[in-house]
Structure 1
Amino acid sequence: MLTDKLRDGAHGKVFKILFWVIILSFIFTGVGNYLIPKLDTDPVSVGDIKITREQWDSQYHDQVRMMQNQYGAQVNQYLENADHVKALRLQILEDMIDNVSLNLQCYKQNIRIGDEQVKKAIRNERAFFKDGKFNNDLFLATVRNMGSSPDYYAHQLRTSLAAQTLAVPVVSANSIVYPYEVDALSKLFTEQRVTDIYTPDYAAIAKYVEVSDADAKKFYDEHHDSFMKQANVDFTYILLSLDKLKKEVPLDEAKIEEYYNINASDFTVPQKRECSQILIKSGTKDFEKKAAEALTELTSGKSFEEVGAKFSDDPNFAKEHGSLGLLEKGALSKELDIALFSIKNVGGYSKVVIDNYGAHILKLDGITESFIPKLADIKEEVKARYIDATAREIYANKSNTLTDVSYENPDSLEAASKAIGEPIEQSGVVSLGDKSLKWPLSTDEVQRLAFNEENRSSHINTNVVNIGNENCIVLNVSSYNDAQLQKFDDVKAKALELAKAKAIDDKAQTLLDGIKADVKAGKEVTLPKDVTVAKAVTVNRGDKAFSPYFVLNVFAIPNAENQSSISHDNGKLKLAVLKEVKQDESADAAQYAKIIRSQLVQFKQNKADSMLYLGAREISDISYNESAINVVIQQDKSEE
């Protein structure tokens, strides 16, 4: 029988060999390789270097946090759009490829950064300064708060310095701005255009333009978007407001005194330093050399007033002796701030500080040490801070309770209202995009929440969302109506009004087209009765007499006499005919040149940066793992 043959075969040599081959393969490779295929989840490889999904996620979340810190809650609205998230994700990935490609080429060029260079860069980083010098404890705390470690931070800094070693000479060489470039752009910015401007009289045209019901119906049929009744909702809501809680905080003198005693250091008035300066402006010939001479004379014993009178470019030095007054840390630029708070003794001088304004020498005239004022002297400030701190603590507790209870009792807001002692309010009818509603119903946060498809159809409590940093809200949508086209009979008056406005605009266009054709043909223009002309009107860039759109079109006219453009100016069509192009003699050419030069340098630096990264990419072996990239993108969409 078959089973007997199988039993006999199980004792054969071939079976035993196969059995041990399988057992040994399990031992050496693990059973997981037989059950679960190994997936490649790294989205990109650059040469032998893998950009992992974890690294990509980390960079993405860092970027989102930075955007939220800079732009606030509106970033969340941006991230609700799956296409925006995808674009941001892919841009971050491309930036990572740029950096890895450049770092790889640095390594191939044998660019290495030594330990001392890394240490020096860390010690010179302003973020790690305390009392005017590097503070190791602050460095360690800052790095930990970044979610990093000192070794990893140093490694990243080493990589960055290597890239800078390669990039800085290239970028510097390619960001030189030549005088002819600045001159050409300055002339462009200070250009004026002299035009003849033809303006139809819309009021006069309106007197003889007529539209029928048929015209209104035709306009209605062609412009349904203008006659839609917006989608609307009706909901109940609970609003938790920090401002309201502040008004409800009971004032207890003992509590206020206790708050002051616990937080006394927060009321410290910082050290202030009184100082004077000798300023030699950057426009002065050999200003750095003169500053060095001035410092030499000061250190040799000459008085500050005598040296300042000789070297300072401050026109008020003789009267005010270069006094900058009483300053606390951070009141000056970074370089001057460090210089001032590095002077050890009253009457001492700083080293020469060079910046865009020129050369500075600071003298320390006096020190007002930091101190903690008495409670009686700052009673109102302490009271305000006590109220704020107490209200914020109550707000945090109530918002947590609101979140929990509204989730645990999803069918209504009654339980949540009782739990936090805040009333349930009725919204009334809220139309999509209606900004005339009372706050907070008009806010983007509330409208997004109310018109969210799941929220409007489920009739259960929404998530609690923040409105700024000091308010939060939860809704329960009771009814929703889709946007719908209003019947023609109901909007006939509006259709007649809009149809007539279009007919007037069309008539104005026809009149101006005729004038434009005559101008182009070189004919003498005969003005229609409903058109006026303003001759030789000078238009500047940024001219407030016209709409930005009209000015843009005027400066888009080809630079030749009698060239023209028809465009709207604050809702009415106008024809601009170019007569002359000239320069604004009243413009501050030097100021324009200074602004343009700095912007042009930045533009060229960015361009050189881009070309450097592009070059690094072209000579790097970049491999995209499309399936791994798509998995991340699809996961983002599913989380929306």
Structure 2
Amino acid sequence: MLEKIRDGSQSWVAKSILVLVILSFAFAGISSYLGSSTAVPAATVNGEDISKAELEQAYQSERNRLQQQLGEMFDTLSANDGYLQTVRQQVLDRLVAQKLVDQAAKKLGLTVSDEQVKKAIFTEPAFQTDGKFDNDRYQALLRQLGYQPVAFRNTMRNDMTRRQLIEGTLGSEFALKGEAKQIAELQGQSRDIKYAIVNAEPFKADIKVSDEQAKEYYDTHQDQFIRPEMISVNYVELNSSDLAKNVHVTDADAQAYYDEHKAEYQSQEKRLPAHILVQFGDDKAKAKAKIEEIKKELDNGADFAKLAEKDSEDTFSAKEGGKLDWYEHGVMDPAFDKAMFELKKGQVSDVVESEFGFHLIKLLDVQPSTTIEFAKVKQEIIQDLKKKQADEEYYEQKEQLANTSYEQPDSLTDTAKAVGGEVKHTALFSRNTVPAELSNPEVIKAAFSDQVLQDGMNSEVVDIDDSHSVVLRVNEHKVAGTKTFDEVKSDIVARIAQEKANEKAEAKAKEFAASIKADKSEVELTAKSKLHRFDRELNSAIVTKAFQMPAPKGVPSVDTVGLADGFAVVVLDKVNAAEGIDDNVIASLQQQLVNQYSNQDYTSLVAYLKAHAEIKYSTDLDEETGLQ
């Protein structure tokens, strides 16, 4: 039981409860957790406020979710204030929708009784052990999640009330079996085709593009030649890893450190216990009497493993004769831990009381503490000492970096000298083409900040990570605008040439198509049988065209389709019926359709409620929200 609960609190049980709480947030919002406030609300929905604190907490939760989902990509996206404003707006829209659903449920008089809430908690699998409600597990998991029982019951009640309305709307949708079957047959059909590709490249040799044609194209397509805001910067960087290259640590230094910190290179003693557990249940005295009776049997020579298998209420370990796992000091419950480390190998403890019940503990084995030899850790110690000294120097120089760049705000020359570095330079770049060495959201934000671009000052010290910093200043700045004709002339010439080559390829492809229809073609076609609509081997344009073409009637269907660098002729010979469509496939598709229809219904419900609601947004939200 001990091991099971400790592991379980970090495994699927806790995760399932977390999902439960997240679902409650998704439908309920978070107003019940934050209480009332006299501050200006973020929005008012039919007279009910959504506080700025609610918005901020929901926004931070959404940021954390996106961070986990997108990883490093989110770091890049979050450097754009516009993206974060969009996320915040979406969060506020969601809170407004939740408030509207709350109000609609209340207006309809939907309620959930205490008995219904109790039944929901009792039947929640996360709170059960062997299919039965386990109050200890329930209490332990609520404590882990920071809930008081009353608050959790209220959350459950709100969630269940809301679901009455939502399920009453969404739950009425259905999809017919015939409807799903028809879609499955369309999705699963395959086609036998032949095709030939006419490459545009050979036609380019005979194409000439004049300056007048290029200029005319430029004048009529200037929206295609917008240049984003671009800058080049000068910067001074400070990196602990560079400083470490100049740090010298001797073997004697490493030996002295090892001798002084020898305890760090000793493994802790581990012990392997077995136990017999009797839980308190409803009668603690009765439980203690039972464990004492088991102790008497052991004192009279009974086998510990057999008694554990028969009498221990930790069914998880009972199957192994009560055997648990190897534990270091301080891992288990304090009372259990103390008793275990007072035993000698083979001894059985007296009755031990822990928060889980009464135990009898037997020490099965001991792994004594061992010391790692210096030779095995010498290089590791040397590297650690180098890093430590480099980090100390880094923080000293970082302060010097900040002071000098602030005192000399219009140059980085003195700043570089102060830290023994150099002023580095970049080529022009936009927010989306940042050099790899500066590709960090905070660096990008600093580079395009008013302090750097408008005021022409050095930036503040920007941390790329815990041991890597930069200070930068603008070197060249180009505002967003239209590129000049000279800048894009070569690209325009290449584009016009490609278009004209594509036109010639299209004409040739149509010529081939006509000859195929007349049954006079000598063009070599490539056959592809049983082509599926989600095929990834063939050019996607050819696949799409093949499934847009009508089924052949007596003679093949023939058509052409444009490609990125040419055209293709497509011949459809046969449409093959879908294979492998059974009741499971149809049932799965039916459910997908129901989910799709339900989502549409929910969107329509919220739209209806919004159309008939009075919603006011705050006009003085913090500037960074971008909300009006």
Deviation at 1:43? 1.7
Q: Which residue of structure 2 lines up, in the alignment, with residue 110 of structure 1?
A: 111
Choose from 119, 124, 135 the match for 2:126.
124
Deviation at 1:455? 2.4
* Counterpart contact for 1:564–1:575, Cα < 8 Å: yes
* Counterpart contact for 2:231–2:429, Cα < 8 Å: yes
Q: Which residue of structure 2 lines up, in the alignment, with residue 206 of structure 1?
A: 204
* Counterpart contact for 1:272–1:368, Cα < 8 Å: yes
Deviation at 1:576? 2.5
Aligned residues: 496
* Counterpart contact for 2:431–2:444, Cα < 8 Å: yes
Distance (Å, rounded) in 1 between the aligned partners of 2:388 and 2:482: 51
Q: Which residue of structure 2 lines up, in the alignment, with residue 475 of structure 1?
A: 472
Q: Which residue of structure 1 lines up, in the alignment, with residue 185 of structure 2?
A: 187
Matched, 1:637 2:626: yes
Q: Deviations over 1:567-601 (max 9, x none)?
A: 4445332232433222475xx767x956x865763
Q: Which residue of structure 2 lines up, in the alignment, with residue 509 of structure 1?
A: 506
- State percent identity of aligned pairs: 15
Q: Which residue of structure 1 lines up, in the alignment, with residue 538 of structure 2?
A: 546
Change (3 A) 1:504 1:90: same
Change (3 A) 1:548 1:464: farther
Q: Which residue of structure 2 lines up, in the alignment, with residue 134 of structure 1?
A: 137
Change (3 A) 1:395 1:256: farther
Q: Secondary structure at the match of 1:134?
A: helix
Q: 1:152-551 residue pairs with structure 2 within 5 A?
A: 152=151, 154-164=153-163, 167=166, 174=173, 180=178, 183-222=181-220, 232-241=230-239, 252=254, 255=257, 261=263, 343-347=316-320, 368-371=325-328, 374=370, 376=372, 401=399, 405=403, 408-409=406-407, 410-413=409-412, 421=419, 423-432=421-430, 439-441=436-438, 446=443, 449-452=446-449, 455-465=452-462, 467=464, 472-482=469-479, 495-513=492-510, 518=514, 523-524=517-518, 533-534=525-526, 538-551=530-543
Structure-1-length-normalised TM-score: 0.59
* Counterpart contact for 2:266–2:370, Cα < 8 Å: no
Q: Secondary structure at the match of 1:461?
A: coil
Q: Secondary structure at the match of 2:185?
A: helix
Comparing 373-382 and 493-502, the one that deviates more: 373-382
Q: Deviations over 1:507-561 (max 9, x none)?
A: 1123334556x49xx951655x9x7543566533343333334433433445566
Deviation at 1:506? 1.6
Q: Which amino acid aligns with 1:344?
A: S
Change (3 A) 1:232 1:164: closer
Deviation at 1:422? 7.0
Structure-2-length-normalised TM-score: 0.60
Comparing 188-197 and 204-213, the one that deviates more: 204-213
Q: CA RMSD in A?
A: 5.5
Distance (Å, rounded) in 1 between the aligned partners of 2:620 and 2:416: 42
Change (3 A) 1:62 1:230: closer
Q: Which amino acid aligns with 2:326?
A: E
Deviation at 1:211? 3.9
* Counterpart contact for 1:434–1:442, Cα < 8 Å: no
Change (3 A) 1:407 1:428: closer
* Counterpart contact for 1:466–1:472, Cα < 8 Å: yes
* Counterpart contact for 2:549–2:572, Cα < 8 Å: yes
Distance (Å, rounded) in 1 between the aligned partners of 2:263 and 2:548: 67
Deviation at 1:460? 1.5
Deviation at 1:466? 5.3
Distance (Å, rounded) in 2 between the aligned partners of 1:607 and 1:256: 68
Deviation at 1:230? 7.5
Q: Secondary structure at the match of 1:458?
A: coil
Distance (Å, rounded) in 2 between the aligned partners of 1:181 and 1:387: 70
Comparing 609-618 and 472-481, the one that deviates more: 609-618
* Counterpart contact for 2:238–2:394, Cα < 8 Å: no
Distance (Å, rounded) in 2 between the aligned partners of 1:395 and 1:564: 74
* Counterpart contact for 2:236–2:470, Cα < 8 Å: yes
Residue ranges of structure 1 left out of the alignment (5+ in a row): 1-37, 127-131, 274-340, 349-363
* Counterpart contact for 1:259–1:386, Cα < 8 Å: no
Q: Secondary structure at the match of 2:594?
A: helix
Change (3 A) 1:602 1:39: same
* Counterpart contact for 2:85–2:627, Cα < 8 Å: no
Residue ranges of structure 2 left out of the alignment (5+ in a row): 1-37, 129-134, 275-313, 329-366
Matched, 1:604 2:577: no
Deviation at 1:44? 2.5
Deviation at 1:426? 0.8
